[in-house]
Amino acid sequence: METATSQSVIVACPHCDARNRVPAARSAAEGKCGHCGRPLFEGKPLALTAAHFDAHAFKSDIPLLVDFWAAWCGPCRTMAPVFEAAARELEPRLRFAKIDTDGEPELAARFGIRSIPTLILFKQGREAARMSSALPSGELRRWIERNL
């Protein structure tokens, strides 16, 4: 795995999964992918699939917060706008992503998802924190700050 130096950070593109080296002196929020030219951050959660998961969880230096959810889940639907608002406010400090457990059962099984919504924070390729509950806005932000 390529690692960042003290002068740069590796960021996976949300559109093509290409790894981009972003100088530390530059804002990643304004960065564009060197491969596809699209923005590296859009202020909204990325819908991840098994095919794209590893590029963002294990090959990027940016922490990844994943919401494991399902469309039929009431608490998941309640949590969705809170998660989206946090993405608008907190990117590019971390990447926000959603994984539909019905559409991606392999990923749900891989991470032992037993209840939804479940949030997992990945840092430096490892699970750093997990929470199984719908959280109101303030609690979500406090949980993120405590675990970053």
The three-class DSSP label of residue 88 is helix
The CB-side HSE value for 91 (13 A sphere, CA atoms) comes to: 25
Phi then psi for 147, rounded to 5 degrees?
A: -100, -10
Phi then psi for 82, rounded to 5 degrees?
A: -65, -45
Environment class of 40 (CB within 10 Å of its CB; exposed 0-12, middle 13-18, buried 19+): buried
The CB-side HSE value for 99 (13 A sphere, CA atoms) comes to: 29
**Catalytic residue list contains 13:** no
- Considering the candidates 13, 16, 33, 73, report the single residue annotated as catalytic: 73
- Considering the candidates 13, 16, 33, 76, report the single residue annotated as catalytic: 76
Cβ of 129: how many Cβ atoms within 10 Å?
16
The three-class DSSP label of residue 29 is helix
**Catalytic residue list contains 33:** no
Residues with catalytic function: 73, 76
